């Protein structure tokens, strides 16, 4: 079923933030807290400190909304600045829907990565012409 989430980016303190949010909202993580060392290698070699930072975490909050997050890594060229600290995540029911949403939202925008296959599923991202960041994500069904 399609749903929407809010993705937050942190500068090394995602774990602390999400442990705090877990207490505040009195909910449990929607799956494990994934560290960069838990993912398949993807190019750049990471320091031990970066390998232990959060690559992904998800937490249901109020009203059926889920917040997700990661730590941005300067060693991978990522820099947290006002404006890139959150993204609206759309998880449509099909790849066709993801492609259509990407086409409409990326039109006239400054940057984008068209939805494509990744190890976890079908994913893409863009910034629209109004400066809002969008992510398109259809997670693979694991057996």
Domain boundaries, the chain: 3-139
pLDDT at 4 over 90: no
pLDDT at 132 over 70: yes
Token pair, residue 91, equals 């998880």
Structure confidence at residue 135 (pLDDT): 92
Predicted confidence (pLDDT) per residue in 35-91, tens digit: 999 988 766 688 899 899 999 999 998 888 999 999 999 877 788 777 778 889 988
Place of tokens 């398109």: 136
For the chain, give the mean pLDDT: 89
Per-residue confidence band for 143, with pLDDT thresholds at 50, 70 and 90: low
Topology annotation, domain 3-139: 2,3-Dihydroxybiphenyl 1,2-Dioxygenase; domain 1 (3.10.180)
Find out whether 8 and 69 touch, Cβ atoms under 8 Å: yes
């Amino acid at each position: 079923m399609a749903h929407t989430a809010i993705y937050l980016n942190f500068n090394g303190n995602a774990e602390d933030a999400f442990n705090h949010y877990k207490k505040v909202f009195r909910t449990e993580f929607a799956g494990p807290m994934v560290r960069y060392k838990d993912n398949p290698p993807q190019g750049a070699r990471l320091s031990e400190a970066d390998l232990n930072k959060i690559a992904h975490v998800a937490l249901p909050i109020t009203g059926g909304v889920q917040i997700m997050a990661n730590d941005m890594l300067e060693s991978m060229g990522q820099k947290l600045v006002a404006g890139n600290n959150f993204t609206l995540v759309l998880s449509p029911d099909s790849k066709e829907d993801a492609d259509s949403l990407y086409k409409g939202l990326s039109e006239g925008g400054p940057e984008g990565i068209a939805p494509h296959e990744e190890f976890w599923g079908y994913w893409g991202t863009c910034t629209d012409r109004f400066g809002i960041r969008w992510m398109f994500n259809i997670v693979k069904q694991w057996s």
